[in-house]
Structure formats: C-alpha cells, structure tokens
C-alpha cells in the first residue's frame, strides 16, 4: 500500500483493507470512487449495476451474488470517475483490468 500527500496536504491512497486500517486513525476521511471496472457489454453492464446496487455484502446470499458478478465473463472496461463516458482500458479479464486500474491510480497519485 502506498500513501500519497499532494501539495494541499491531502492524503491519497488506493483503497483496500490495509489502507482503511491505516486511515481509520487519522480522523475524518472522505472516500470517493476514482474509477469503475464494469462489463463492456451494455446488457451485462446494466445487470451488473442492478445486482451490485441491490445486493451488498450483508449476508451470505448477498455475498454470493456479489461474488458471482465479479466472475461474469468479459470483456471488462475501466472508466475513471472524472471521465465516466470514456473507456480508459478494456480486457477480457476483470483481474487484469483491476491491476491496470490500480497501477494507473498509483501513477496519478505519485505525480500530484
């Protein structure tokens, strides 16, 4: 996990369990989505968004549905929050998209 401090003193990190543990003790924090990894197919994308909005990780059924959406067949797309209509990257593997997404966010934070 890498933490980045920009010129305004704002701390940035790609969120994961470790980052959330570290930042928990820092007081008030804001978490915002920097990007999305979503199915490229519009019908699958609509189903993915509906299921992810409907089911959370609150109980075993919800977790099963969320895990199922993570394993939908690709291709997958990465879209950044500051340009949600633009496909930044696409690949058949969701895992490859997530890895690329994290690398790009780490580069962006390092340049701030």
Q: Are residues 14 and 41 in the same domain?
A: no
Q: Are residues 65 and 100 in the same domain?
A: yes
Q: Are residues 57 and 89 in the same domain?
A: yes
- DSSP assigned state of 15: -
The tens digit of pLDDT for each residue in 31-47 reads 778 899 999 999 999 99
The tens digit of pLDDT for each residue in 54-99 reads 987 778 888 899 899 999 999 999 999 999 999 999 999 999 999 9
Question: How many structural domains are present in the chain?
Answer: 2
Q: Are residues 53 and 87 in the same domain?
A: yes
- Measured CA to CA in angstroms, residue 102 lies from 25, 27, 46, 68 at distances of 24, 25, 24, 22
Q: Are residues 74 and 46 in the same domain?
A: yes
Q: Are residues 5 and 51 in the same domain?
A: no
Tell which phi-psi region holds residue 74, choosing left (phi > 0), alpha (psi between -120 and 50) or beta: beta
pLDDT value at 104 more than 80: yes
CA atoms within 13 A on the CB side of 31: 10
Range of the domain at 44: 34-111
Q: Are residues 24 and 79 in the same domain?
A: no
């Amino acid at each position: 996990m890498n933490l980045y401090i920009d010129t305004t003193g704002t701390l940035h990190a790609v969120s994961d369990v470790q980052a959330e543990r570290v930042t928990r003790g820092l007081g008030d924090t804001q978490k915002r989505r920097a990007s999305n990894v979503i199915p490229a197919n519009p019908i699958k994308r609509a189903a993915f968004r509906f299921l992810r909005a409907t089911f959370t990780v609150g109980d075993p059924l919800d977790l099963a549905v969320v895990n199922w959406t993570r394993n939908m067949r690709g291709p997958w797309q990465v879209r950044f929050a500051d340009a949600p209509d633009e496909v930044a990257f696409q690949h058949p593997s969701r895992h490859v998209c997530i890895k690329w997404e994290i690398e790009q966010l780490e580069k962006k934070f390092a340049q701030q």
